């Protein structure tokens, strides 16, 4: 009997022994930089004639790891391996599959400081953000292991006279897992192992910016006893292998987290019938947001201030759930903006190997260029209050930036930036604030700060997002408690970390036997 699921507790880095342990892990992985990593197909290491280098965004001259790149021949090799493995793995009892995930959770727990260290160096997460990412990955392993057992025990039918009805949930087949770089261990782990624990086999194409962290999951699943061919690791250029993987006739499903443009392309390509394909491909997609926090005149302004800052600038605003728009009621607008600017200017920025730095780098030069372009747009559409420029250092550092007097419909009000840029809008009343919040094509997360019970009820009814938070920040969904997924152009609302999620990787077979 499994014990009840509980979220993984975060390491307290205020304790000297924990700080020392994390620093020791950082020192240890630094000795392993610029190692070459193979593809992993059918339980074997595979090398090609091409390499991709992953750099530390805090120190762009530092190579974290070098990865052999898969081409179409390697994708075919991995697909064949996954198909063979599926014919065995699909029949393994869900409890046995769950045991693999539980073992992996324990291994990851033991390696937490090391995984945090890789994330700090390759993804540019500060210590607390890295700790939260690794802890969430452990949560997914623990939660989906239990969910796989629950799905097996679901009856799903009602009695019928003289017949014995059954409903069996079967795995789909071979899936393509395309995770993002911003939660390189948590989302990758959740996407891959949800498919695996339900009896499917997968090809994992890690994000180009964070393959070293992805390879840590390969190591962990191997150590946990996952059979060969169930998880195949195939890093490569999206332009070369992305469409090929999606369009492959043996691909049964695609699980994707990333940009709206890529998600829509995957959805379009997956809908086209390939020669030899005998099913409709299933797409599970999470595609970002333009997330809003509303601070009402009847709110606890001190608490709201803390959580707006955390939501907007945690991990440099590089979360699909990050607060990108702040709507303030006019009665408290000026007071709150002044306090927000003061608090933001106190945030430290620099290489996140140093735990005293709250903000680190954005992920790569393309992200830096995009964010700076939006800052130029913001200077035309509103009034710059703070930031608006690069910070010093040998990384991709951008100061946390706030614009006020952004008008509804402006580009900074509508378009996803994915960086430390916050747009402040003013509303005359609460109903207007809700209307502004709902005015984008996205619908991922939102937050409302107010003590007014009637306004809370209005927000619950009319604020159209997949994850709504009341008097809480709009980032940091907890597995099990806050299933995560959005509406509209934010994706398919698959609700990762929720009781429905594993159903995305299963198909139901109704069986009825007549008797008497």
Residue 337: is it exposed, middle or buried by C-beta count within 10 angstroms (0-12/13-18/19+)? middle
Q: What totals of helices (H) and strands (E) does the chain contain, helices first?
A: 15, 21
* Buried/exposed code over 195-227 (b: 16+ C-beta within 10 A; e: otherwise): bbbbbbbbbbbbbbbbbbbbbbbbebbbebebb
Q: Catalytic pick from 320, 353, 381, 416? A: 320
Long-range contact pairs involving 269-276 (C-beta distance under 8 Å, separation at least 24): 269/243, 270/246, 272/247, 274/247, 274/248, 274/249, 275/249, 276/249, 276/250
For the question of residue 153 being annotated catalytic, the response is no
Task: Give residue for tokens 């005293």.
Answer: 356
> Strands 506-514 and 487-488: what pairing?
unpaired
> Does residue 123 sit in helix, strand or coil?
coil
Task: Give residue for tokens 């014990």.
Answer: 3
Q: Catalytic pick from 142, 286, 353, 381? A: 286
Report the distance separating Cα 333 and Cα 354, nearest Å: 35
Q: How far is CA 128 from CA 110, 123, 206, 256, in A?
A: 17, 13, 23, 26
Q: How many residues does the chain have?
A: 516
Angle made by CA atoms 211, 88, 494, in degrees to the nearest 5: 55
With CA atoms as reference, report the closest residue to 389 among 399, 379, 380.
399
Residue 76, C-beta contacts closer than 8 angstroms, at least 6 positions apart = none
For the question of residue 286 being annotated catalytic, the response is yes
Active site positions, annotated: 286, 320
């Amino acid at each position: 009997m499994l014990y009840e699921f509980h979220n993984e507790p975060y390491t307290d880095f205020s304790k000297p022994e924990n700080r020392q342990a994390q620093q020791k892990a950082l020192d240890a992985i630094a000795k392993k930089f610029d190692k070459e990593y193979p593809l992993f197909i059918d339980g074997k290491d595979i090398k090609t004639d091409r390499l991709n280098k992953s750099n530390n965004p805090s120190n762009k001259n530092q190579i974290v790891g070098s990865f052999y790149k898969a081409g179409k021949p390697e994708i075919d090799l991995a697909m064949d391996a996954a198909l063979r493995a599926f014919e065995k793995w699909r029949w393994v009892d869900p409890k046995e599959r769950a045991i693999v995930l539980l073992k992996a959770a324990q291994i990851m727990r033991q390696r937490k400081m090391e995984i945090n260290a890789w994330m700090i160096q390759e993804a540019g997460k500060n210590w607390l953000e890295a700790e939260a990412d690794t802890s969430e990955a452990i949560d997914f392993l623990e939660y989906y292991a239990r969910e796989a057992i629950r799905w097996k025990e679901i009856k799903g039918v009602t009695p019928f006279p003289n017949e014995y009805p059954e409903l069996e949930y079967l795995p789909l087949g071979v899936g393509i897992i395309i995770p993002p770089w911003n939660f390189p261990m948590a989302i990758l782990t959740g996407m891959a192992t949800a498919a695996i624990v339900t009896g499917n086999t997968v090809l994992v194409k890690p994000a180009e910016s964070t393959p070293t962290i992805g390879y840590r999951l390969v190591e962990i699943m191997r150590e946990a006893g996952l059979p060969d061919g169930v998880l195949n690791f195939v890093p490569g250029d999206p332009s070369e292998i992305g469409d090929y993987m999606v369009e492959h006739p043996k691909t049964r499903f695609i699980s994707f987290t990333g940009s709206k443009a890529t998600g829509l392309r995957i959805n379009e390509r997956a809908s086209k019938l390939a020669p030899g394909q005998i099913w409709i491909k299933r797409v599970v997609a999470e595609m970002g947001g333009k997330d809003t926090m509303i601070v009402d005149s009847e709110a606890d302004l001190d608490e709201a201030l803390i959580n707006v800052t955390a939501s907007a600038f945690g991990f440099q605003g590089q979360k699909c759930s990050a607060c990108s728009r702040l709507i303030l009621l006019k009665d408290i607008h000026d007071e709150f903006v002044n306090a927000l600017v003061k608090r933001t200017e106190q945030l430290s920025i620099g290489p996140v190997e140093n735990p005293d730095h709250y903000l680190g780098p954005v992920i790569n030069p393309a992200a830096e260029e995009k964010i700076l372009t939006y800052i130029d747009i913001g200077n035309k559409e509103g009034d710059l209050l703070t930031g608006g420029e690069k910070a010093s250092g040998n990384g991709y550092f951008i100061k946390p930036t706030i614009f006020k007097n952004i008008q509804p419909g402006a580009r900074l009000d509508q378009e996803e930036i994915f960086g430390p840029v916050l747009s402040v809008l003013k509303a005359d009343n609460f109903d207007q604030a809700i209307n502004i919040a709902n005015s984008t094509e996205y619908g991922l997360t939102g937050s409302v700060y107010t003590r007014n019970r009637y306004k809370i009820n209005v927000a619950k009814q009319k604020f159209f997002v997949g994850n709504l938070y009341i008097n809480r920040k709009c980032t940091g969904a907890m597995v099990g408690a806050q299933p995560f997924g959005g509406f509209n152009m934010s994706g398919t609302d698959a609700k990762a970390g929720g009781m429905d999620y594993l159903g995305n990787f299963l198909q139901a077979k109704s069986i009825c036997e007549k008797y008497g």
